[in-house]
Copies of this chain bind each other. A is one copy, B any other.
Amino acid sequence: MRVPLPARLIAALLVLAAVLTGTLRLRAMQPAGAPSPAPLGASRPPNIILILADDLGYGDLGSYGSPVIRTPHLDALARDGFRATSAYAPSPSCSPTRASILTGRYAHRVGIRAPLSPRSPIGLRADAHVTLPQLLRGRGYRTMLVGKWHLGDQPGTRPTDHAFDRFVGMLYSHDYTDPWVATDERLALYDGTRRRIEQPDPSTLTQTYTAEARTFIRDSGAARQPFFLYLEHAMPHVPLAVASGDRRTTSASLYAAVVEALDDSVGEIRAELAATGQASNTIVIFTSDNGPWNAMPDRMFGRDLVKPWDHGSTGPFRGGKATTYEGGHRVPFIAAWPSRLAPRVSDVPISLVDLLPTLASVAGATASVPRDLDGIDIGPVLTGAAAPADRVLLYDHLGRAEAVRVGAWKLRLTYPVDGAAGVTELFHLLRDPGERHDVARAEPVIVATLRRHLPPAP
């Protein structure tokens, strides 16, 4: 039987044109006549500060269009550096995204399906994965984790089992306690393996973490050794809290005050870098682990301590945390490195799975990077030298890829669960960033092409 070649050819051309619609847009982003900078790898390895907010929405910074939250320090960081409008958390929830950041792989490949409960037998095993702190320590970096881990509390999976020289923080989110999460495990703030503070007051966390970060920056400067600081803030995850006496709580919403306190923290860290002469050779990255928790389950409202409106904004995007609509995955992403990155706003799609290969390249550790990563080195995107033309981005959720973006197109495919029907939705993210107009029925060829990147029905 003859294959109807002309029809297939037309279909293939249609797909090509469709992908190019996205691709051309990506290429159009480079300023005309801009120089093609050298790769980002530096002869003198820079310090690396990676700051991760928790449940911060795409629309929660001034530079990302917030009408109610003031973030002058983060806006200045964005003005000085690279700001992405198409940066993705690889998963729409805590532990999976964190696993992807540390391994450069989608969480379903690491076996982290969902946020980890205390005493879970699952966790990020230090002996099973090459992780970012390992790569950097191998290049002579001092390494520190400050803040929330959430990748295991059993032996072999704790931060102190990984290649962090220092750890000050907590093993889960600060809502893993009565009345929000039923557990016999008592929350603690750890210093290494030592429980330093039992059941710490959430209102102290941002300041405590910032003080620890500053000390580490200062000490590393004195030691004249490059450092990797991974600062995983507890906020603005619920229960929200700011330092007692913060004057902003009288004039702004509590959520705004909490984010503005994070902004203060970034200002303090930059000031510490400047005071210790390390500003120009430090890359500072700020992002979030997923979108805002704007549809919290009922269990969160016990004893009226958390309010239904204690969450951020997705900006123009649909959905939120725990969904594979853009609001669950699209996050702010700012990267400033004064000596190497010119100011730039970019809509090239990037993902937090890209952090490991990119930062390994920055630190000159490329040779140690595993070959079968999902992430890619986005150094050329940060400098504006090039954009990956055929990038396939996955939206990992609950142990599988539920959606995929190629160029401007996004396919979202859910299966029937608990009697609810599955959906097949296709969106064009340039003309319809808010995912209001599903065109799956009108564009069967695009659906078929993108579907190949998603796993078959379970």
A256 nearest CB neighbor, chain B only? B430
CB under 8 Å from chain B, chain A span 236-291: 248, 250-256
A436 in the interface, Cβ–Cβ < 8 Å?
yes
Interface size class of A (residues with CB under 8 A): 35 or more
Q: Is A86 an interface residue (CB 8 A)?
A: yes
A347 in contact with B67 (CB, 8 Å): yes
A28's contact among B85, B251, B314, B433, by CB below 8 Å, is which? B251
Query: Which residues of chain B have C-beta atoms less than 8 A from A253's C-beta?
Result: 428, 430-432
Chain A contacts with B in 273-321, Cβ cutoff 8 A: 294, 308-309, 313-316
Chain B nearest Cβ from A255, distance in angstroms: 6
Q: List which A198-251 residues lie within 8 A (CB) of chain B.
A: 248, 250-251
Are B65 and A252 in contact (CB-based, < 8 A)? no
Chain A, 404-429, CB within 8 A of any chain B CB: 428-429
Residues of B within 8 A of A85 (CB): 67-68
- Chain B's nearest CB lies how many Å from the CB of A148? 24
Q: Which residues of B are found within 8 Å of A24, using beta-carbon distances?
A: 250-251
Given A251-B25, A309-B436, also A59-B67 (CB < 8 A): no
**Interface presence of A41 (CB below 8 A):** no
Q: How many angstroms between the C-alpha atoms of A347 and B70 in the bound complex? A: 10
> Chain B's nearest CB lies how many Å from the CB of A294?
7
Q: Mark A11-49, 1 if CB is under 8 A from B, else 0.
A: 000000000010011011000000000000000000000
Which residues of chain B come closer than 8 Å to A25, judged between CB atoms? 251-252
CA distance A145 to B352 in the complex (A): 50
Our pick among B59, B65, B436 for the contact of A294 (Cβ within 8 Å) is B436
In the assembled complex, how far is the CB of residue A67 from the closest CB belonging to chain B, in whole angstroms?
Answer: 4
A430 to B316 Cα, complex, angstroms: 17
Bound Cα distance A67, B348 (Å): 11
Contact of A316 among B27, B256, B309, B313 (CB under 8 A): B313
Q: Contact partner of A430 among B68, B314, B347, B430, CB < 8 A?
A: B68
Which of B21, B315, B429, B432 has a CB less than 8 Å from the CB of A315?
B315
Could you give, for residues 62-74 of chain A, a 1 whenever the CB lies within 8 Å of some chain B CB and a 0 otherwise? 1011111000000
> A345: CB under 8 A from chain B?
yes
Candidates B66, B86, B250, B309; contact of A428 at CB < 8 Å = B309
Given contacts A25-B252, A65-B64, A252-B28, contact A59 B316 (CB under 8 A): yes
Question: Residue A111 at the B interface, CB < 8 A?
Answer: no
Docked Cα-Cα span, A62 to B250, in Å, equals 31
A251 to B68 CA separation, bound complex (whole angstroms): 32
Q: Among B28, B255, B347, B431, point to the contact of A255 (Cβ < 8 A).
A: B431
Residues of B within 8 Å of A431, CB to CB, are 253-256, 309
Check A347 against B68 for contact (C-beta < 8 Å). yes
A433-B67 CB under 8 A given contacts A59-B316, A62-B345, A315-B316: yes
Is A437's CB within 8 Å of the partner chain B? yes
Decide: A67 near B309, CB < 8 A? Known: A28-B252, A253-B431, A436-B294. Answer: no
Are the C-beta atoms of A315 and B255 separated by less than 8 Å?
no
Say yes or no for A434: interface residue by CB 8 A criterion.
yes
| Nearest CB of chain B from residue A111's CB, rounded to whole Å | 32
Kindly list chain B residues whose C-beta atoms are within 8 Å of the C-beta of A68: 85, 347, 429-430, 433
Closest B residue to A87 using CB positions: B67
Give A402 Cβ to nearest chain B Cβ, in Å.
21
**Cross-chain contact of A65 among B255, B256, B315, B429 (Cβ < 8 A):** B315
Greatest chain B CB density within 10 A among A24, A86, A429, A436 is at A436
Complex CA gap A423/B345 in Å reads 42
**Interfacial chain B residues near A308, Cβ < 8 Å:** 437
Q: Which residues does A use to contact B, with CB under 8 Å?
A: 21, 24-25, 27-28, 59, 62, 64-68, 85-86, 248, 250-256, 294, 308-309, 313-316, 330, 345, 347, 428-434, 436-437
- 17 more A-B residue pairs beyond the given contacts A65-B316, A67-B315, with a C-beta to C-beta distance below 8 A: A24-B250, A25-B251, A25-B252, A28-B251, A28-B252, A59-B315, A67-B316, A67-B347, A68-B347, A68-B429, A68-B430, A255-B431, A256-B430, A294-B434, A294-B436, A313-B433, A316-B316
